[in-house]
Every structure is written in C-alpha cells, then in structure tokens.
Structure 1
Amino acid sequence: MISGIISGIVAGYIASRLQKGEGSGCLVNLFLGLLGGVVGSLVFGLFGLTAYSWIGEMITAIIGAVIVLWLFAKLR
C-alpha cells in the first residue's frame, strides 16, 4: 500500500511536469497518479496491453495521468 501511494505521487508529479511544467502539490499529484493509473489501465486494456512490472505500471499511470490532465484542460 505504501509503495502504491509513493508510485501514485511520483506518477502524478511526472505527468504534471510533462503537461504543465510544474508540480501541483503532493495530494494533487497523489490523486492524479491514482486516477491516471485507472485511466491508463483502461486505455491500455482497450489495446490488449497489460503491465507486469513496477516500471510498466508507472508508465501506465503516467500516460493515464497525462490523459486526465489533457481532458481537464480541454473541459476548462
């Protein structure tokens, strides 16, 4: 559980840096990383892809978080 929280924070931070250029705070990054993991898993599942390692899960969460940030920016 602790590793999942840390992974979520890292994934959210990386995604927010890629999308906006700066971090958004620890709690926002955590939420973004966790939501990104869900969205990324759904998107990758549509293509028949799954992540088996921590690196794969991190990449999935980062891509999902970037998608979430992009959608949020478009809806704003």
Structure 2
Amino acid sequence: MLWFLLIGLVSGWLAGMISRGGGFGIWGDLVTGVVGSFIGGYLFSLIGISAYGTIGSIISSTIGAIILLWIMRMFSHVAPAAHKKE
C-alpha cells in the first residue's frame, strides 16, 4: 500500500510538471497520481500494453494523470490569464 501511494505521489508530481509546469502540493499530487494510476492501468489494458516494474507503473500512472488533468481542464471554465477581466 505504501509503495502504491509513493508511485502515485511521483506520478502526480510528474504529471503536474509536464502539463502545468509545477506540482499541486503533496496531497494534490497524491490524489492526481492515484486516480491517474487507475486511468492509466485501464487504458493500457484496453490497448494491450502491460507495465511491469516500478518504472512501468510510474509511466502508466503519469500518462493516466496527464489524461485526468486534460479532462479536468476541458470541463473547467477558467479563462486564460490574457483574457481575465480586472
């Protein structure tokens, strides 16, 4: 269980760095990574890819977390910084 949480934390941090340019704090990274690991594992099994070992788990979790962040941004109604009203 502790290893699963550690992989979730690392993959959430990586997804935050790749998609936003920074992390989300320890709890945000952990939740993003753990949910992303379920998404990544499901998607990898759909296309027939097996992720073995720690590195494979981190890669699939990070890809799942990036997809999660992309979906969250698709449904959020936050205006870009250049178009915000003051």
TM superposition score category, shorter chain reference: over 0.9
Cα deviation, residue 25, structure 1: 0.6
Aligned residue identity for 2:25: G
Extract unaligned runs of 5+ from structure 1: none
SS at 2:4's partner residue?
helix
Moved segments of 4+, more than 6 Å: none
Tell me how far apart the structure 2 counterparts of residues 71 and 32 of structure 1 sit (CA, whole Å): 12
Tell me how far apart the structure 1 counterparts of residues 2 and 66 of structure 2 sit (CA, whole Å): 23
Tell me how far apart the structure 2 counterparts of residues 37 and 26 of structure 1 sit (CA, whole Å): 16
Which one has a bigger Cα radius of gyration?
Answer: 2
TM-score calculated relative to the size of structure 1: 0.95
Aligned residues: 76
Deviations 1:5-47 (A, max 9, x none): 1111110000011001011010110000000000001111110
Higher relative contact order (CA 8 A, sep 6+): 1
Extract unaligned runs of 5+ from structure 2: 77-86
TM-score calculated relative to the size of structure 2: 0.85
Alignment pair present for 1:58 and 2:61? no
State the identity %. 34
